[in-house]
Structure formats: C-alpha cells, structure tokens
C-alpha cells in the first residue's frame, strides 16, 4: 500500500502511529477531514491479518465518519482508531490508558468513542488520560452504550425508506430480514416487532438468535440464506459488503436499510440496486444515531434532545431518496453529494475569516 498516494487521493489530513512497549499498544489514528469540526470516530480493536490491512481499515473508516457527520448535519469531522489485538485476550488498563495519552496529544483534533471490539469500560480507561473521549460510563455524565440510539435511528431511517418504497411507513405485516442480531440488531428487532413487522433473522451467535426468537417470535435462517428470502426489507446489521455481485441477484426485497457499515462492496453496487428498483438507505446516514448521540455529550448530554436529533434521520433519508429519484442517481451518490456540498460550502465560508480565540477555544 502506498500510504501517501492513498491519503492524497482522498484528501486525508493526518495518520498517527501509536506504540507503547510496556502495554503492548499498537494502534493507528486516522484523521480524514476537520473542516466542520474536530474529527470524531470510535476505537476499533481487531486481529488484523497484516499491519497494512489495519492502516487501510483506519483510513477507510475515518473517511466514512467524515461523510456520516456531514450528512447528519453535525459540526464534526471524521476520524478513526484501529487497535491491533484480540479484544477477548489482549485488553488491559495500561493498553487503553496508553492510547488515551496519544489521543490527548492531539489536543482535541480527534475525539474517540466505543466501536467494534471495545466497550464503555475501555473508554473509561481512556478517559483517565484525556477528556477527548465520548461514550464513557453514565457515572461521568455520559450516555453510556450508544447501541440503542443507533438502532432507533436505523429504525426511523428504515421507516422513511418504507414510506418512499411503499407509500406508507406503517410496518404492520411487513417482513424484515435482519442479518445480525447483536447489540444494534437486537434493538432494531425490538422496534420492528413493536411496529408489527414479521422478522426473519440470522446470526453466527446462537445465544443472540435464541434471544430474538424467544422475545420477538423471529424465524431463523442460515447465514447464507438470508439474502434470498422472500421479504419486504433486508436489514444488514453485521458484516459489511453484503451487497455485492453474488447477493444482488438473490435479493427479493424492495428496500435495503440496516445498521452495518460499508454495506455496498463497491460504489457500483449502489447503481445496480438503483437499476433493479431496490430502495437503498445509505449506510453511513441511517446508522448515524450513535454518532449523533455521543456528539450531544460534547454539549452536555440531554437524552430527549439527543433522541429528537436522531429522530431526524427519518427526514434526512427521505430527502436523499427524493434527490436520488429526482436526479436519476443512486442513493449512495445522492448522499455523498449532500455531504460533500456541505463540507465544501463551509470550507469556503470559513476560509474568509480567521477564527477568534474565543471560537477556537469553544471547539475544543
């Protein structure tokens, strides 16, 4: 991988390599764009096959966070941390506190949070070294686990996509195939069940499957069978890239709307969905509820206000789908255009004036 060529292609600002021998820390912090504000993005802990794979993941995810924040109307940029290690065996207080010191050294340019492989407890360790972390324990005045709010935003975005596709956001009797019923997927299933939807689910975790079957009466299919089931809506809530050359021909749904990141294996698959008449709710917009929620912590957390902002995902998704239909472009391109236009407009606006000392301090 030619790192600087990749960074130049997608206009990245900074890549930070973090190492601490005592704790075994090996991490990469990627900052994509801070035009709208400080970069915010979670810390992902994963057993990457190669260091190059870890770097590429950090860069890709950081750029995704820029678009997510911009499309959600937040005054935040995009960043991400990937922590190389096994989340089941390699965690320690020293590890996360060492990472916290690296986050602190960036002096507010980057704010971290919980992500795949990390927990609220891990964020609490980071918090001992820096204030630039969200999603910490409620005892510190935080909102705690962001999964319920992510699921709520996903549910509202799914309703908006249903309204666009079917003429109504009433999900009574609609069949939704949910791929992945972990933290976010479980709460999404809860919302769907309460809305009267029928659930078809899959997951590699039998305990998670048993939970949604017992509580919501879900029907279970195999992991490779979920793509071809007869359903109204397919909701990918686990792995990325499940919309690809192999699966698009199998889909029997009218809508794809779920919480997973990077649902399209390649951008061309958004065009393929559009050509096939499948309504797609862009992933980084529909799953922005967690980001919106933790961003609210930076202003002093208020649950009702955070929920109101997350509820607006409904309007954002519907607007994107209307733009897609009106301009004859796939929904992923419409979402990108909205995010890029906001960033570029504010970049030009802010270049006209030097920020005052007061405004600079307020953004820290």
Is 99 strand, coil or helix?
helix
Mean pLDDT, the chain, rounded, equals: 93
pLDDT number for residue 355: 55
This prediction has a pTM of 0.88
The top-level CATH class assigned to 3-65+77-140 is alpha beta
Contact 280/332 with Cβ under 8 angstroms? Answer: yes
pLDDT number for residue 282: 98
Q: Please state, in angstroms and as integers, the Cα–Cα distance from residue 166 to each residue in 155, 189, 197, 254, 316, following that order.
A: 16, 20, 14, 9, 18
Contact 181/175 with Cβ under 8 angstroms? Answer: no
Would you state the torsion angle of the CA atoms of residues 123, 128, 132, 138, taken in this order, to the nearest 10 degrees?
Answer: 50
Q: How sure is the predictor about 255, in pLDDT bands with cuts at 50, 70 and 90?
A: very high
Rounded mean pLDDT, 332-353: 87
Span 296-340, pLDDT tens digits? 888 888 899 999 999 999 999 999 999 999 999 999 999 999 999
pLDDT number for residue 353: 56
Q: Please state, in angstroms and as integers, the Cα–Cα distance from residue 323 to each residue in 26, 75, 96, 153, following that order.
A: 43, 23, 43, 20
Half-sphere exposure of 340 (CA within 13 A, CB side): 8
Of 204, 230, 203, 198, nearest to 217 by C-alpha is 198
Residue 354 has pLDDT above 70, yes or no: no
Neighbours of 322 (CB within 10 A): 12
Residue 197 has pLDDT above 90, yes or no: yes
pLDDT number for residue 360: 45
Span 26-59, pLDDT tens digits? 999 999 999 999 999 999 999 999 999 999 999 9
Span 104-163, pLDDT tens digits? 999 999 999 988 899 989 999 999 999 999 988 888 777 777 889 999 999 999 999 999
**Structure-token pair, residue 122:** 């891990």
More confident site: 262 or 222: 222
DSSP 65-85: HHHHHHHTT-S-EEEEEEEES
- Give the span between the Cα atoms of 45 and 112, in whole angstroms: 13
- Give the span between the Cα atoms of 143 and 309, in whole angstroms: 14
Residue 364 has pLDDT above 50, yes or no: no
pLDDT number for residue 300: 82
Q: How sure is the predictor about 349, in pLDDT bands with cuts at 50, 70 and 90?
A: confident
Cβ partners under 8 Å of residue 45, min gap 6 = 82, 83, 84, 85, 86, 87, 90, 91, 115, 116, 117, 118, 122
The top-level CATH class assigned to 147-342 is alpha beta
pLDDT number for residue 137: 86
Q: Please state, in angstroms and as integers, the Cα–Cα distance from residue 35 to each residue in 12, 69, 302, 347, following that order.
A: 11, 11, 26, 6
147-342: same fold as 3-65+77-140? Answer: yes
Domain ranges of the chain: 3-65+77-140, 147-342
Residue 74 has pLDDT above 70, yes or no: yes
- β-bridge mates for residue 46, sequence order: 84
- Give the span between the Cα atoms of 354 and 357, in whole angstroms: 9
Residues marked as catalytic: 80
pLDDT number for residue 63: 95
In the sheet that 233-236 helps form, which strands lie side by side, from edge to edge?
A: 219-220, 198-202, 175-179, 233-236, 255-256, 279-280
């Amino acid at each position: 991988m030619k790192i600087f060529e990749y960074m130049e292609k997608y206009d990245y600002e900074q890549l930070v390599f973090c190492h601490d021998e005592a704790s075994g820390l090996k991490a990469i912090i990627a900052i994509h764009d801070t035009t709208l504000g400080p970069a915010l993005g979670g810390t992902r802990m994963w057993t990457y096959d190669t260091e190059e794979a870890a770097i590429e993941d950090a860069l890709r995810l950081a750029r995704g966070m820029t678009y997510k924040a911009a499309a959600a109307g937040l005054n935040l940029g995009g960043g991400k941390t990937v922590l190389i290690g096994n989340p089941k065996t390699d965690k320690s207080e020293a590890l996360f506190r060492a990472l916290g010191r690296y986050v602190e050294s960036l002096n507010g340019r980057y704010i971290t949070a919980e992500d795949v492989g990390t927990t609220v407890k891990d964020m609490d360790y980071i918090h001992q070294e820096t204030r630039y972390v969200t999603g910490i324990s409620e005892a510190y005045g935080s909102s705690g686990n962001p999964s319920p709010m992510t699921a709520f935003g996903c549910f509202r975005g799914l309703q908006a996509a249903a309204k666009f596709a079917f003429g109504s956001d009433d999900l009574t009797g609609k069949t939704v195939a949910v791929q992945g019923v972990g933290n976010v997927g479980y709460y999404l299933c809860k919302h769907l069940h309460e809305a009267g939807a029928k659930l078809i689910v899959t997951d590699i975790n039998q305990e998670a499957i048993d939970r949604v079957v017992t509580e919501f009466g879900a029907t279970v299919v195999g992991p490779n069978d979920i793509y071809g089931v007869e359903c109204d809506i397919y909701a990918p809530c686990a792995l990325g890239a499940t919309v690809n050359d192999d699966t698009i021909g199998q889909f029997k749904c009218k809508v794809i709307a779920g919480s997973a990141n990077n649902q399209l294996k390649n951008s061309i698959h958004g065009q393929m969905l559009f050509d096939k008449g499948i309504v797609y709710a862009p992933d980084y917009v529909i799953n922005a509820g967690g980001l919106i929620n933790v961003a609210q912590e930076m202003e002093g957390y208020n649950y009702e206000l955070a929920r109101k902002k997350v509820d607006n995902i409904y309007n954002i998704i519907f607007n994107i789908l209307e733009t897609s239909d009106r301009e004859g472009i796939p929904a992923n391109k419409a979402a990108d255009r909205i995010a890029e236009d906001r960033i570029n407009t504010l970049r030009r606006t802010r270049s006209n004036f030097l920020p005052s000392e007061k405004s600079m301090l307020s953004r820290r």
